[in-house]
Chains A and B, each alone.
Chain A
């Protein structure tokens, strides 16, 4: 075991987290259900005006995605923190930021990807034209990993707290603003029928940037939370 390579450590951790998630299948549906429910509330609150619903649609989908991501963030390190395995990760010979990345990836596969899959349904509910649906899905697949990555820093800072939930939203939501802006803007532009390369490029840049920086910040935060 002492010669376990970094890639196999990464994949083992990823597999472990996915198996753990699969064992609790009922919880898997929760973020998706929440996503659909929040989105369904908006037309009821706004009124049955097809044009208006189309206009707010992209924003609604994305705000619901932010909230769903926020809701599921807390589970990222919670059980590992409670049973002590998080401390074992800290003690391992591998760089913590890489191990953290495996956990973030597993978390995104479990909570972020379902949002991507169910998005076309919501787009239909919100009267978003079919021509804009591919863009909506593209923004989700580029944007939701950023939410998980940035969120992981917030979770790592609050994992040791008993009432971390409200603080977590205060820490993380302001940092989600750029993703929200560019993603909704891309969808709105696509509805009008203008190319969305600029917004999608910026979203990709955010993904790459947070992919590099966030795991390091998360690893440092975990060390502090566990000290």
Chain B
């Protein structure tokens, strides 16, 4: 059953159909969790005893940072699958994820520096996590640039898959080397968000926002994948039949 489902999802035509049905669900879930999470995070949750109201930006910042890493891993895993089994759909997932991942990384950086201005007094600090996030953004941009530079989309997808895999091997190394570099040169003087315990009234909105961002990613990646499928398969019969049917 499950194996058959995966086989079917490997076919662009079937994927296109299923994705079309899934997108509204993802979108509704995203909107509900977004409104609930933002309301509870921005209005209901108590202000922080140290950071006051400024900490509330974490309801965007932390989920965005989580997503930036999560999406890279998704890309690397689907890259591996597409290199080993040559499945078209996972290639499309790699490409469709790159822009969303880069946007989340940028969002995490931007909100981080907005938070840094009142907390640290400057927009940018060469803090270990900010720096690794910046390098992650460069990795995403490299993937996007390489994909757009190669004409043949299937070749581009495979090249990008290799790059994503090389990146995923390097990300832990980069992260820990940046941490080493940071601790040696500027001892951690600023405590960050992750206190050992967080009050439930703060934690639950945060987790809701994380789910919300995941649903958003799901919806957007499916939309982008559908667009990519149509573009790649524009000469195939099922696309032409579908277009003719909709024209009627």
Contact = CB atoms under 8 A, between A and B. Distances in A.
B119 interface: no
The residue among A174, A206, A217, A221 with the most chain B CB atoms within 10 A of its own CB is A174
Given A153-B166, A170-B141, A181 B178 contact: yes
A12 to B, nearest CB: 28
11 contacts: A153-B166, A157-B159, A160-B150, A163-B149, A170-B138, A181-B177, A182-B180, A185-B184, A220-B83, A220-B162, A224-B155
B146 A221 contact: no
A171 B142 contact: yes
A181 B180 contact: yes
A146 B83 CA distance: 25
Contact of B181 (A163, A175, A185, A221): A185
A213 B177 contact: no
Given A158-B149, A171-B146, A185-B184, A221 B177 contact: no
A164 interface: yes
Interface string B158-189: 11001101110110011001101100100000
Contacts of A225: 155, 159
A118 interface: no
A167 B149 contact: yes
A224 B159 contact: yes
A153 to B, nearest CB: 6
Contact of A157 (B135, B139, B163, B177): B163
Which A-B residue pairs are the 4 nearest by beta carbons?
A178-B177, A174-B138, A170-B142, A171-B142
B149 A213 contact: no
Interface residues of B, number: 27
A213 B178 CA distance: 22
Contacts of B150: 160-161
Interface string A189-227: 000000000000000001000000100010011001101
Contacts of B227: none
Q: Is the interface of A mostly helix, strand, loop or mixed?
A: helix
Nearest to A221: B162
Nearest to B160: A157
Contacts of A173: 138
B141 A175 contact: no
Given A167-B142, A171-B163, 18 more contacts: A153-B163, A153-B166, A157-B146, A157-B159, A157-B162, A158-B146, A161-B150, A171-B146, A177-B135, A177-B178, A181-B181, A182-B180, A185-B181, A213-B169, A220-B162, A224-B158, A225-B155, A227-B155
Contacts of B163: 153, 157, 171
B99 to A, nearest CB: 15
Contacts of A171: 142, 145-146, 163
A84 to B, nearest CB: 18
Contacts of A224: 155, 158-159, 162
B145 A170 contact: yes
Contacts of A160: 150
A174 B159 contact: no
Contacts of A157: 146, 159, 162-163
Contact of A178 (B145, B149, B159, B174): B174
A221 B161 CA distance: 10
B174 A177 contact: yes
Contacts of A182: 177, 180
